[in-house]
Amino acid sequence: MKASKVDKQTYYRGVRMIPYDLLKEVTIAMVAVLGVVLILSAVLSSPDVPSVTLQTWSKANPIDFLTTASGELSGSTVVAGYGPPYNSGTGSVQSWGPLEPQQWAGVHVPIDAPNDFVLQPLTQATAGDAELAAALTAYQAAPSDQQQKWLTSYTTALGTATLASDGTVTVPSGDFGPVTVLMNRMLTLARSGGLDALLLTSDHFYQTDFSRALLFLDDGGYIADLATQQKLIGSDWGVMNETGRYPGSAWLWLYTMWYQIPPFNSSTGFLGISAANTDLAVVGVMLLLTALLFLVPFIPGLRDIPRWIPIHKLIWRRHYAEMRRTGATNTMQQ
Amino acid sequence: MSDERAPVTIDPSAPAAQPVVDDATGWTASVRRRVEKTLPITELLPTKQPAYIGSWVYVFGVVTIAALFWLVISGVVLAFFGSAWWHVSSVGHFFNSIHFWSVQMFFIFMVLHLWGQFWGAGWRDGRAKTWMVGVVIFSISVGTAFTGYVVQQNFDSQWIAINAKDAINSTGFGGLFNALNFGQMYGLHVMLFPIGVTLLVVLHIIQVRAKGVVRPIDDPFQVTP
Amino acid sequence: MDAPAPYIHWGFILISLPNFVLICVMVLLFVLALVAPFPSHGPKGPRDE
């Protein structure tokens, strides 16, 4: 009769039972853990680095902000050409051999970068601003290759732009058409805090979805620079880390480890895994490892490791000593 | 009935005392009998346990539950006062600290409990399902922690969300599970995930109490596996 | 506590000191749990069948 099938009385035959107070143990555990948590909270507190806003970004690094804004308008940023779930681009689409779940899933969080990040907020801000309204009309009336010409010249000029002490940006002159006005207004709007609000609202009052504002931030260099200083970027095992001197998500060590080693971080790759589909590959590997952990009881070899490395002899050393002392033998007591 | 100080009057028409037998029929009766067979109250709240649990390795499970308890309590307080509270109130920040360190304690003790169960091969003797439920709890806890990190409403939340989105998007789930959508992440974190974790922990405890603590590996008296 | 943490760099491993300390404490707690004596209820009288 298998040990898994016998009733409890049979299973525990021959086992010495000791008095045990379950609720007392639970209470002691509750009090002890609370004590430790309260001490840590009182002494170390918890991290709370304030969020970045488009306002703080545009004030701290206006040239980076303008570079991103003009990139969004030209559709050349990462988000603009991302792919599903945001749009039909291909820049960030990952696949593994015939598996293309990202592509199959399709667009469900529609983001049209030039409109969502630039033209729509500016259109909403034209009240009392005839110059902006005229620039918008001129820009939208121009053919797309003219728009791209203006934007390319503007972006190139930004490379040698100067920053005044009052935060204004002086771009060397060139043929930028209405783009100059559009970008100046973007900067003013951002510095006033208005752009944060405009990227959040659409056509209704209550908002809880920060997708557009966060994607705009993601396309810029500012938030990534701050993250680099805190060692939160991927290549610094950032997934495990926390701001400041606090412990982070140490349990994610194995997840982030794969990102640090070939083929996951290499351009040449192996078995279809490379830097081009690192995320998908790592998720796949972790799903496989989790499945193996889940199935340990059924996997020969894996489930025998506790016998091969007998740490259990330490766990139950008093029990084994007692068995030896009382001369217990391996007789089946049915 | 053997009191000899007063004469006993017996009513011959009264039925004889019967032993308590649960022979009721119906769905409720079947479920009741099943529950009493699987987990009688004396096993749910035992006052005796096998002597071999006399090792500190056995406390990791209950301290994990304790950490989860304070995690939920502090989370309830944070949710009650709203997601912006702890940024502007020092009392709020203290409760956030309790929540933060309870999370660390929860994962520390849960992993120690996993190590203890692995090296003791706790899945033996019909306890595979207990192990499997434990692995599911661990996986869902990782997801719960993730949703918690992205609803803190600070720099950490922003950075984690914009990086996690790429991994989630690559699986095709980015449209369904949008880390950038605070409303969705908040609802998942304060309600759906905690309900899931709590229900599974209750199941896990029932499994342990129903089957009892597994016997030591190669224990002499054990029934042949 | 808000200043950037010190980091330990060993080969391809890069770990923050707080995380490293936490993991060391975990290993220590497990080893202690294995070896530390547990208050015992020694055998007294017949086995409870």
Calculated CA dihedral for residues A121, B169, B132, C29, nearest 10 degrees: -70
> Tokens in use for A216?
């705009």
Report the gap between the CA of C10 and the closest CA in chain A (Å). Answer: 12
Q: How many CB atoms lie within 10 A of CB A37?
A: 24
Cβ within 8 Å of A, C 7-46 = 7, 12-19, 21-23, 34-35, 38, 40-41, 43
The CA–CA distances, whole Å, from A65 to A69, A161, A218, A280 equal 6, 12, 11, 30
Using an 8 Å CB-CB cutoff, list chain B residues near C27.
none
| pLDDT over 50 at B28, yes or no | yes
Evaluate the omega torsion of the peptide bond into residue A263 and state whether it is cis, within 30 degrees of 0.
Answer: yes
Q: So what's the pLDDT on residue B19? A: 55
Which segments within chain A are labelled E, that is strand? 17-19, 162-163, 169-170
Q: In this predicted model, what pLDDT tens digit does every residue of A180-195 receive, in sequence order?
A: 999 999 999 999 999 9
Q: So what's the pLDDT on residue A200? A: 87
A190 near A95, Cβ under 8 Å? no
Using an 8 Å CB-CB cutoff, list chain B residues near A280.
170-171
DSSP string, B197-223: HHHHHHHHHHHHHHH-SPPPTT-TTSP
**Mean pLDDT score of chain A, rounded to an integer?**
93
Nearest residue to B132 (alpha-carbon basis) of B207, B37, B60, B67: B207
| pLDDT over 50 at B209, yes or no | yes
pTM for the whole structure: 0.92
Q: B45: exposed, middle or buried (C-beta count within 10 Å: 0-12, 13-18, 19+)? A: exposed
> Tokens in use for A213?
């504002």
Average of pLDDT values for A228-248? Answer: 94
Nearest residue to B50 (alpha-carbon basis) of A127, A20, A108, A192: A20
Q: In this predicted model, what pLDDT tens digit does every residue of A292-322 receive, in sequence order?
A: 999 999 999 999 999 999 999 999 999 999 8
Q: Give the H or E element holding residue A158.
A: helix A144-158
Q: In this predicted model, what pLDDT tens digit does every residue of C5-24 receive, in sequence order?
A: 999 999 999 999 999 999 99
B83 near B153, Cβ under 8 Å? yes
Q: In this predicted model, what pLDDT tens digit does every residue of A4-53 receive, in sequence order?
A: 778 888 888 888 999 999 999 999 999 999 999 999 999 999 999 999 99
Cβ within 8 Å of B, C 1-49 = 22, 25-26, 29-30, 32-34, 36, 38-41, 43, 48
> Tokens in use for A200?
């959040």
| pLDDT over 70 at A1, yes or no | no
Q: Find the residue in B nearest to C19 (Cα).
A: B104
| pLDDT over 80 at A162, yes or no | yes
**Mean pLDDT score of chain B, rounded to an integer?**
92
Separation between Cα atoms, residue A66 and residue A72, nearest integer Å: 10
Percent of chain A with pLDDT over 70: 97
Categorize the per-residue pLDDT at B15 as very low, low, confident or very high, splitting at 50, 70 and 90. Answer: low
Categorize the per-residue pLDDT at A334 as very low, low, confident or very high, splitting at 50, 70 and 90. Answer: very low
Separation between Cα atoms, residue B212 and residue B39, nearest integer Å: 10
Percent of chain B with pLDDT over 70: 91
Q: How many CB atoms lie within 10 A of CB A100?
A: 17
Separation between Cα atoms, residue B114 and residue B109, nearest integer Å: 8
Using an 8 Å CB-CB cutoff, list chain C residues near A315.
34
| pLDDT over 60 at A62, yes or no | yes
Q: In this predicted model, what pLDDT tens digit does every residue of A276-286 receive, in sequence order?
A: 999 999 999 99
ipTM of the complex: 0.94
More confident residue, B221 or A208: A208
Q: Which one of A16, A229, A260 has the shortest CB-CB distance to C47?
A: A16
Q: Where are the domains of chain B?
A: 56-120, 123-211
B140 near B197, Cβ under 8 Å? yes
Categorize the per-residue pLDDT at A201 as very low, low, confident or very high, splitting at 50, 70 and 90. Answer: confident
Using an 8 Å CB-CB cutoff, list chain C residues near B220.
none
Q: B127: exposed, middle or buried (C-beta count within 10 Å: 0-12, 13-18, 19+)? A: buried
**In the block, which residue shows the tokens 């640090």?**
A260
